[in-house]
Structure 1
Amino acid sequence: MWPVIWTAARTYAPYITFPVAFVVGAVGYHLEWFIRGDPPQAVEEKSIVEQREERKLKELTGKDLTQVTSLKEKLEFAPKAVLNRNRPEKS
């Protein structure tokens, strides 16, 4: 009798194991959420561009925007042009 049972089990294994695996998976899924609690709601995150804009606005809030450095002061610290490196300095 055992050879007949083993042959039937081998022949019909996919038809038996799929429903069993489906039921075990569904029970495990629901049991996990029962133990953990409700799934957290998805929170919309701000994009990188929006975060950057907010950070820049926060940096500007405490500053006086009318006080700007002059262009002459900025040009002092500008590096010399690449083509002028080998030319002698004019005194």
Structure 2
Amino acid sequence: MKPDVMWPVLWTVVRTYAPYVTFPVAFVVGAVGYHLEWFIRGKEPQPVEEEKSISERREDRKLDELLGKDHTQVVSLKDKLEFAPKAVLNRNRPEKN
């Protein structure tokens, strides 16, 4: 075969089988690079303490607030029922005298 005919055939074969060749090569290069990096760095890094999420911080703050309260002192039920202004609840009712 002539060299000028061989190059197009070679490039067609490489293009056709590229996924089968590049994946194993990339896998080996990645594995070698990973282990080489850890070899150069030395010991494993200490795990970084993760920052608490907003909801976790809120729960902690609420728990701290509860620790400081006296739970034997509760609001009477009569006071609890006054949760909305009377104007809203009695909007369509005539005033009772």
Which of these residues, 28, 31, 43, is aligned with residue 30 of structure 2?
28
Identity of aligned residues (%): 45
**Deviation for aligned residue 1:83:** 6.8
**Alignment partner, residue 71 of structure 1:** 77
What are the within-5 Å matches in structure 2 for residues 1-91 of structure 1?
Answer: 1-10=3-12, 12-13=13-14, 14-15=16-17, 18-32=20-34, 34-35=36-37, 51=56, 55=60, 56-80=62-86, 84-91=90-97
TM-score by length of 1: 0.52
What is the CA RMSD across the aligned residues, in angstroms? 3.9
Distance 1:62 1:83, change over 3 A: closer
Structure 2, gaps ≥5 residues long: 50-54
Displacement of 1:18 in angstroms is: 2.6
Q: Give the C-alpha shift of residue 40 in structure 1.
A: 8.2
What is the rounded CA distance, in whole Å, between the counterparts of 1:34 and 1:67 in structure 2?
A: 65
Q: Are residues 64 and 39 of structure 1, via their aligned partners in 2, closer, same or farther at CA, if it must alter by over 3 Å?
A: same
Secondary structure class of the residue paired with 1:86: coil
Aligned to 1:67, the other structure's residue is in SS state coil
- Going from structure 1 to structure 2, the CA distance change for 1:74 and 1:40 (only over 3 Å counts) comes to same
TM-score calculated relative to the size of structure 2: 0.50
Aligned pairs, how many? 82
Give distance in 1, aligned partners of 2:30 and 2:90.
74
- Give the letter aligned to residue 80 of structure 2: K
Q: Where does structure 1 lack aligned partners over 5 or more consecutive residues?
A: 44-48
